[in-house]
Amino acid sequence: MFTSTPAIELSAERGFLPLNDPLRQLPKAFEDWEHTALTLPKLLASDHVRRTIEELPPFPIEAISNDPERERAMVLLSYLGHAYVWAGAKPAEVLPARLAVPWHNVAQSLGRPPVLSYSSYSLHNFVRFDANREVECGNLALIQNFFGGIDEEWFILIHVEIERRAAPGIAVLHACLDAAESRDADRLEAHLATVQAAIASMYASLKRMPEWCDPYIYYHRVRPYIHGWKNHPDLPQGLLYEGVRVYGGQPQQFRGETGAQSAIIPSLDAMLGIGHKEDTLRTYLMEMRTYIPPDQRRFIESLEERGSVRSFVERCKKSALTEVYNACVEGVEQFRSLHLEYAAAYIFRQAQTDVKNPHAVGTGGTPFMEYLKKHRDETAEHQLK
């Protein structure tokens, strides 16, 4: 275990993944809701999704007693919520109170908006076949699916593995800053080597995406259900959460699930001093933090409050230190470049056949190709000479 600040405790083995494997099922009081979630792959092949959800008994939110149950409830409600909205020829503009009210309440208790975000899609949505083995592809399956199938499983599980592989690097980010503050070049060099190895391991995992996730299947079968309702052309006003009083009867706009809601890259950017210009992209990146779990947001902020190692590395002029720093920056750039390649192959080059699944707008509601290119280019600019 390591503690970055007194209030933030993370695992050097798990990073931003939960310390214990996610809860697979809520208690018996939720069995009707769990059964409906379990049968989503069947329901989505029918025209019964919305009616089935509308006929569920009241969600017994008072029976939730701990954080793992809250996280499982958030996964369940998020999947059912997105299935309700995006099933059928046209998206639903109103979410019934039966689903909207408990979803909002659980989301509030977790400090996140009531929409499917990366934390529920990936971080709290895996099971290990062998508890004695690593959190790694080959030993993982999803707890919750939309359509199901190997492409959906693989797409999400690659992200889970990336989170685990990032953990050793995340664990030493504050130690890197400590070394820079104490002007200990040798110690900083050693910690940056750990970070660089973690980034390389993340990249190796990301490279495996095409093994079992086909671009056509991803675009037409996986992606449609992870869109949100902010800047989406088919829900221009957003979604009305029926019965949620604090919304005053007004539609709400929340962005869909996206890897930009992972805390890994913002944390690496903070320690390395990789900055992004003050523009609409930076505004978007800061908005994404409202979808990241509060403890992870605090971790990123705790790094940013301390500055970065960049200025010390630049002043130190120790060639080995500069080399490992540049290797870290290059690793982040390569990771972003590969992400950009996948975005082009898996989304932008696909033929749009459904207005609910636009190929020029990301699931987060942005012109993603432009943003990803800018991410990559701004990262490359931070190499030290």
Q: How far apart are CA 63 and CA 382, in angstroms?
A: 50
Q: Where are the beta strands (DSSP E) in 178-334?
A: 240-241
Per-residue pLDDT at 4: 34
Work out the burial of residue 11: count CB atoms within 10 Å of its CB; fewer than 13 is exposed, 13-18 middle, 19 or more buried.
Answer: middle
Does domain 15-380 bear CATH number 2.40.50.100? Answer: no
Q: Which 3 state secondary structure label does DSSP give 124? A: coil
- Between the alpha carbon of residue 342 and those of residues 204, 217, 281, the distances in Å are 14, 13, 20
For the chain, what are the domain ranges? 15-380
Query: DSSP class of residue 58?
Result: P
User: In one letter, which amino acid is 300?
Assistant: I
* 324, 271 Cβ separation under 8 angstroms: no
Adjacent-strand bridge partners of 142: 126
pLDDT at 5: 35
Positions of the chain with pLDDT lower than 70, given as ranges: 1-9, 351-372, 375
Which pLDDT belongs to residue 377?
78
Per the listing, tokens 């997105």 go with 82
Separation of alpha carbons 246 and 252, rounded Å: 11
Pull the structure tokens for residue 14. 């798990």
Q: What does the alpha-carbon distance between residue 231 and residue 353 come to, in Å, rounded to a whole number?
A: 19
Q: How many CA atoms lie within 13 A of 241 on its CB side?
A: 22
Stretch (H or E) spanning 126 = strand 126-128
pLDDT per position as a tens digit, 236-293: 999 999 999 999 999 999 999 999 899 999 999 999 999 877 777 778 888 999 999 9
Rounded Cα gap, residues 274 and 361, in angstroms: 25
Quick one: which of 173, 365, 195, 376 has its CA closest to 276? 376
Q: What is the CA radius of gyration of the chain?
A: 21
Q: Give the tokens for residue 253.
A: 């706009």
The reported pLDDT for the residue numbered 157 is: 98
Task: Identify any residues that bridge with 141 across adjacent strands, giving them in sequence order.
Answer: 127
- How large is the greatest C-alpha to C-alpha distance in the chain, in angstroms? 67
Give the SS3 label for residue 66: coil
267 to 16, 64, 71, 207, 307: CA distances (angstroms):
11, 32, 23, 21, 12
Segment holding 188, helix H or strand E: helix 185-207
What are the counts of helices (DSSP H) followed by strands (DSSP E) for the chain? 16, 6
Closest alpha carbon to 263 in 112, 136, 142: 112
Rounded distance between C-alpha atoms, residue 37 and residue 329, angstroms: 41
Distance (Å, rounded) from C-alpha 111 to C-alpha 22?
A: 18
Give the pLDDT confidence score for residue 293 in this predicted structure. Answer: 96
Q: Which two tokens stand for residue 348?
A: 């932008």
Residue 303 and residue 275 in contact, taking contact as beta carbons nearer than 8 Å: no
Write the CA distances from 235 to 31, 80, 163, 228, 365, integer angstroms: 32, 18, 32, 9, 11
pTM (2 decimals)?
0.93
d(CA 155, CA 122): 10
Q: Which residues of 222-238 are buried (b: 16+ CB within 10 A; e: fewer)?
A: bbbbbbbbbbbeebeeb
> If DSSP codes are grouped into helix, strand and coil, which group holds residue 343?
helix
Of 62, 156, 67, 61, whose CA–CA distance to 116 is shortest? Answer: 156
Cα dihedral 326, 327, 329, 331, rounded to 10, equals 160
